[in-house]
Amino acid sequence: MDLYERIPNNVNLSGDKRLQRALEKWLPNYLDWWREMGPDGFQEKDVYLRTAISVEADGWANFDYVKMPDYRWGIFLKPAEQDAKVGFGDHCGMPAYQEVPGEFRNSLRRIIVTQGDTEPASVEQQRELGKTCPSLYDLRNLFQVNVEEGRHLWAMVYLLHRYFGRDGRDEAEELLQRRSGNPDKPRILEAFNQPCDDWLNFFCFTTFTDRDGKYQLAALAESGFEPLARTCQFMLTEEAHHLFVGETGVGRVVKRTAQLMKQDKDSDVRELGGIPLDIIQKYINFWFSYSLDLFGGEISSNSADFFAAGLKGRYKEQDQYTDHVAAHENFTLMVVEDGRLKPRDVPMRNALNEVLRGEYVKDCERAAERWNKFIVEEGVNAQVYLPSTRFHRHVGEFAGHTFDAQGNLISSEEFERRRDEWLPTFADREYVRSLMHAVTEPGKIANWIAPPKAGIKGKPFDFEYVRL
């Protein structure tokens, strides 16, 4: 691992001078983007961050104070396996692709660009949050997530530069030019154009939207295009912390709310400065539904093509399945036909977006069960839940139809009439924002959230995670 080169890497960058020069030209543009669109403020502060120093399982040992612009962004791929094979699809069993097969070039580039686009988008969405952090611990976690999403951008940019020539370089430039929420040059996927301007949004985003990242990366980690697979395998090790931040973050908000409900059974949690459970529920509904859209349509010829080509597999394709061709199976899913919900059989390969979404939903349900445990532990009789996967969808079979949170088909008039029951209103967002004031004294925490069970890397909660 060349950690102390200008661009730390384990791909022997110095052995490919042209590529090295091209990436060294991209580097200052990246840093300009980071300064303009990365965390607002705090750039000169020391943050207690982990940096990858090797791609082995114990490569995360390195925790230290770093100023964010000095973070060792770099290019780290899981080491190659000998004789890697394409693991699924029409070319299953053939040698894995070490270069881009001409006939799949456009599909692959598009997958990589789409993946790459989400990473800087999330940093842009989160850039104002530092100013209202509930604790130094949370501030540090936000910045850890941000620098790693920056590194994920590097991961995709490396692939574009190394394997796609001229148009790869152009795409890498454009990744720095699109802006989350900008109507003239928006990010590619809609969840990444939604504002994420308070900490409840942040925790829901890292629970639900980063979890889409986990499942998409897992599907790409199976790819027959080996450099992509190996890149994603390493990215997944970073992703686990993002999901931890999200899931424990929502859990701590839920826990605090339950404590306040117990403390005073007769009053509104608002009077005690907490976030009412029904607002938390609406935020869950919002981010869960937008994140479901990220899996694409239920019935998708793209998903069939990606699988056939060996580019994008299923979740745990090798561990979980025996038939890696999946050419003759069918899958039954629900569609709307003549104004009613009906089951339809489709070829398995065309249903793979829905299959991946199903894995994701199971994982989200597990998170919701955890949150409900916190409520039970406080002795409060209430719960949060995940809405139906049909609710509030903008992509796929259910887009253009309206459903209640239980998944019953309803008229668009009824949906509009009841929208405020299910989705955050302007007043809800204003209320949540009114609670957001920075708490930056070590060991202190905002009133609307419970402290974490433990600190980072064995440090106590009152450790000075960011030196202000």
Residues between 144 and 173 that touch ligand BYC (CB under 6 A): 149
Question: Are 112 and 156 in contact, with CB atoms under 8 Å apart?
Answer: yes
| Shorter beta-carbon distance to ligand BYC: residue 336 or 438 | 336
Whole-angstrom distance, CA of residue 391 vs CA of residue 290 = 10
Does 245 help bind ligand BYC (rule: CB under 6 A)?
no
Question: What backbone phi and psi angles, to 5 degrees, belong to 233?
Answer: -60, -40
Residue 350 contact, options ligand BYC, Fe ion, none, Cβ 5-8 Å cut-off depending on partner type: none
DSSP per-residue codes, 347-387: EGGGGHHHHHHHHHHHHHHHHHHHHHHHHHHTT------PP
**DSSP at 48:** E
| 210 is a site residue for Fe ion (CB under 5 A) | yes
Q: Which does 178 bind (CB under 5 to 8 A by kind): ligand BYC, Fe ion, none?
A: none
d(CA 244, CA 241): 5
* Nearest residue (CB) to ligand BYC, 125 versus 135: 125
Phi, psi dihedral angles at 267 (to 5 degrees)? -105, 160
Contact set for ligand BYC, span 94-113 (CB under 6 A):
111
Q: Which of 29, 43, 62, 302 binds ligand BYC (CB under 6 A)?
A: 302
Cα separation values, 335 from 187, 291, 343, 408, 412, Å: 29, 19, 6, 12, 17
388 binds, among Fe ion, ligand BYC, none (CB under 5 to 8 A by kind): none
Q: Is 349 in the site for Fe ion (CB under 5 A)?
A: no
User: x/- binding map, residues 271-300, to ligand BYC, per CB under 6 A?
Assistant: ----------------------xxxxx--x
* Residue 194 binds to ligand BYC (criterion: CB under 6 A): no
CA angle 340, 333, 312 (to 5 degrees): 140
Q: Of 207-215, 245-253, 376-384, 437-445, which segment contacts ligand BYC by CB under 6 A? A: 207-215
Residue 189 binding ligand BYC, by CB under 6 A? yes
Q: Which residue is nearest to ligand BYC (CB)?
A: 296
> How many residues of this chain bind Fe ion (CB under 5 A)?
6
Residues 223-252 within binding reach of Fe ion (CB under 5 A): 242
CB of 119 to Fe ion, least distance (A): 5
What's the min distance (Å) between Cβ of 151 and Fe ion?
A: 8
In the complex, the smallest distance separating the C-beta of residue 299 from ligand BYC, rounded to whole angstroms, is 8
Output Rg (C-alpha) for the chain, integer angstroms. Answer: 23
List residues bridging with 117 in a β-sheet. Answer: none
Tell how strand 340-347 and strand 62-67 pair up.
unpaired
Size of the site for ligand BYC (CB under 6 A): 25
389 binds ligand BYC (CB under 6 A): no
State how far the Cα of 250 lies from the Cα of 202, in Å rounded to an integer: 9
Note whether 383 and 283 are within 8 A (CB).
Answer: no
Using rule CB under 5 A, residue 152 touches Fe ion: yes
Provide the CB-side half-sphere exposure for 215 (13 A, CA).
25
Which string of x and - marks every residue 208-237 that binds ligand BYC (by CB under 6 A)? -xx-xx--x---------------------
To Fe ion, the closest distance from the beta carbon of 241 in angstroms equals 8
Q: What is the rounded CA–CA span in Å between residue 39 and residue 124? A: 8
Q: Which of Fe ion, ligand BYC, none interacts with 140 (beta carbon under 5 to 8 A by kind)?
A: none
427 contacts: CB under 8 Å, gap ≥ 6: none
Nearest to 86 by CA among 330, 326, 325: 325
Q: Which residues bind ligand BYC (CB under 6 A)?
A: 111, 114-115, 118-119, 122, 149, 189-190, 209-210, 212-213, 216, 293-297, 300, 302-303, 312, 353, 395
Q: Which residues bind Fe ion (CB under 5 A)?
A: 119, 149, 152, 210, 213, 242
